[in-house]
Amino acid sequence: MSWRPVFVALVLAPLPALAGGLEPFQYMPVGDLVAGSGEGAPDPVVYAPGMRFPMEGAGFANSQVWGNGGSQGPGGGQCDPVNYNYPWRDNYCETRTWDMPLCPSGDGHQGQDIRPSTCETGVHWNVSPADATVTNIGSYSVYVTDAAGTRYDILHGASNLVSNGQNVARGERINNVSNEFGGTPTTIHMHFNIRQDVAGLGFVYVSPYLSLVAAYEDLFGLTAGVGTLDGTDCMAIEGWSWDPTDPDAATEVQLSFGGPLDGTTPVVQVTADIPRDDLCDALDSCDHGFAVEAPLSLRDGQPHAVHAYAVDGGRSQVELEESPIAFECPPPPVPDGVRRWLASPEIVSAWDISPLWDIATIDQPTIDAIGDDRDFPVEPVLVVSDDDPSTYWLMDPGYRRQVESAAVAEAWGLSLDDAAVWPASVLADVPVGTPVRAERFLFSGPDGRVYAMDDAQCALTEDGQLDPDCDLDEGADETADDGGDDADPPGTGSDSDGAGTGGSAGADDDSGGCGCRQGAPGGWWFAGLLGLFVIRRRSV
């Protein structure tokens, strides 16, 4: 299956904007602290899924001490614009003297500092992250604890609206964002902690960073991975995806067929790395498109839905804009030949065949009209002779069939590097069948049986040699002369010659389309030899 990039002129949807910040929302990875400010904890856990972002309006998570205007910062003032722009930056575990068992150094900053949308005190509101009870009010702190025992700490606020023991609703106002610090002013910000019961440690301060990211995305309808499912047709499913936290990297996209991503639908993951001119100006980065062909199994004339999700920093899958989209494709044309049954799922797997991508869905009357031949080999066996390592043969019990190029090998999922070396004397005794087809075509019908379309082979005589009367050119000429009325269909054979449906022979001596040339004399002993060889390979 080849996936061909498809380029079309598309209009990029506007990205979310927030007052006071760059667009779109961006954040640095968890545990990535300002250089020199300590060792962060790259903790991927969202400790408070579903919580509300604890501040009204936009906010900017960053360091107060190591930012502009901070005591360890590069200079400037706390109101400098650089402090009110994305990306966010983690400062949990930043250098402090508090005992912090989840921090790499064992001590550090207990939570995350968050500035409001503007550098103004007493204007912006801190709110409760959950339905909770006020369990403590200090000189510059308010603690609220939810029913599960998780405590949320809101520090440096002023003008409290709540009292101890009061029940507060998720999003209910607590106090104003300010710079209260027990009589000593700090910067205008909220310090936010999450304190939970962690197995083996008891109640400790956990990283709030990714919980804040998830809550912020939820509040404003943002995603760390943004993008659009642009469209689908029978040639391509295409769109774009971009992670502003790592703007030059290629993101991963999951495509779910037939329904949303719920663990029951077929899912394919693709990389969004195709250059697209329409993204360059909007994202200042171009290589974020994706395009894949519609799966062969879904080209059945019926409508199918595809959902597309950006893989969002390992935390969740975020559905792209315009997803899902439906597509409807006619069945592919069926090539000429005979059908060969892949008799078990193990055989399908052994040939590295994807039921989703590689097997067309064909109606039963069309299948019934195709000549039936012997079963497909149980697994690929590729060999070369010890005196001609450049000629590759696929062993098809009773025959050897040349793999004429690397492209043919790739089409059938064969690795030329895995070819076994056989003695030339052994190969010389194996009749030569038709070359392996240049393209693989597999199909199934309502009964679920999987078939490969193939060429009929010349019949073998009782001693395992090719029928000497079988000739491709002569058979084709005779068929053309008499209109083919008297010739058996390829792969059926006559009742008298023992080459009936499912037999080892592909056609009787008068069948057209018999494309074999006679090799060195051989015998039925080869089928046993090949069987033993296959068993050995499968048992390794």
The verdict on residue 11 lying in a domain is no
Residue-wise pLDDT tens digits, 397-446? 999 999 999 999 999 999 999 999 999 999 999 999 999 999 999 999 99
Q: Structural domain tally of the chain?
A: 3
The verdict on residue 17 lying in a domain is no
CATH of residue 284's domain is 2.60.40
Q: Residue 314: its pLDDT value, please?
A: 47
| Contact call for residues 179 and 137 (beta carbons, < 8 A) | no
Determine the longest span between alpha carbons in the chain, in angstroms: 108
Residue-wise pLDDT tens digits, 231-285? 877 878 999 998 876 788 888 999 999 888 877 888 888 999 999 999 988 888 8
Residues 297 and 444: their CA atoms lie apart, in Å, by 9
The verdict on residue 535 lying in a domain is yes
> Which of 282, 300, 328 is the C-terminal boundary of a domain?
328
> Which of 262, 295, 328 is the C-terminal boundary of a domain?
328
Query: CB neighbours of 99 closer than 8 A, spacing ≥ 6?
Result: 106, 107
The verdict on residue 364 lying in a domain is yes
The verdict on residue 170 lying in a domain is yes
387 pLDDT tier (thresholds 50, 70, 90): very high
Same domain, 401 and 254: no
Same domain, 323 and 435: no
Query: CB neighbours of 538 closer than 8 A, spacing ≥ 6?
Result: 379
Same domain, 323 and 343: no
> Which of 302, 328, 354 is the C-terminal boundary of a domain?
328
| Predicted confidence (pLDDT) at residue 92 exceeds the cutoff of 50 | yes
| Neighbour tally for 151: CB within 10 Å | 18
Residues 152 and 359: their CA atoms lie apart, in Å, by 54
The verdict on residue 103 lying in a domain is yes
Burial class (CB in 10 A: 0-12, 13-18, 19+), 261: middle
Same domain, 482 and 364: yes
* Closest to 86 in 3D by CA, of 17, 19, 14, 23: 23
The verdict on residue 33 lying in a domain is no
Q: Three-class SS string for 18-56?
A: CCCCCCCCCECCCCCCCCCCCCCCCCCCCCCCCCCCCEC
Same domain, 300 and 324: yes
| Contact call for residues 213 and 88 (beta carbons, < 8 A) | yes
The verdict on residue 37 lying in a domain is no
Peptide bond preceding 87 in cis form (omega within 30 of 0): yes
* Closest to 388 in 3D by CA, of 415, 421, 410: 421
Q: What are the backbone dihedrals phi and psi of residue 289, each rounded to the nearest 5 degrees, phi first? A: -90, 160
Strand pairing partners for 136? Answer: 143
Same domain, 288 and 203: no
Same domain, 451 and 490: yes
Q: Residue 7: its pLDDT value, please?
A: 28
- Report the predicted TM-score, pTM, of the whole model to 2 decimal places: 0.52
| Predicted confidence (pLDDT) at residue 384 exceeds the cutoff of 70 | yes
How, if at all, do strands 287-292 and 237-242 pair?
antiparallel
| Neighbour tally for 35: CB within 10 Å | 7
How, if at all, do strands 251-257 and 237-242 pair?
unpaired
Residue indicated by tokens 């369990």: 135
Same domain, 213 and 258: no
Structure tokens at 144: 């609220």
Strand pairing partners for 450? Answer: 342, 444
Same domain, 412 and 365: yes
| Predicted confidence (pLDDT) at residue 173 exceeds the cutoff of 50 | yes
Same domain, 421 and 485: yes
Same domain, 359 and 488: yes
Side by side, which strands form the sheet with 237-242?
Answer: 226-232, 237-242, 287-292, 274-275
| Predicted confidence (pLDDT) at residue 107 exceeds the cutoff of 60 | yes
Same domain, 446 and 316: no
Structural domain that includes position 232: 226-328
Residues 345 and 343: their CA atoms lie apart, in Å, by 7
CATH of residue 176's domain is 2.70.70.10
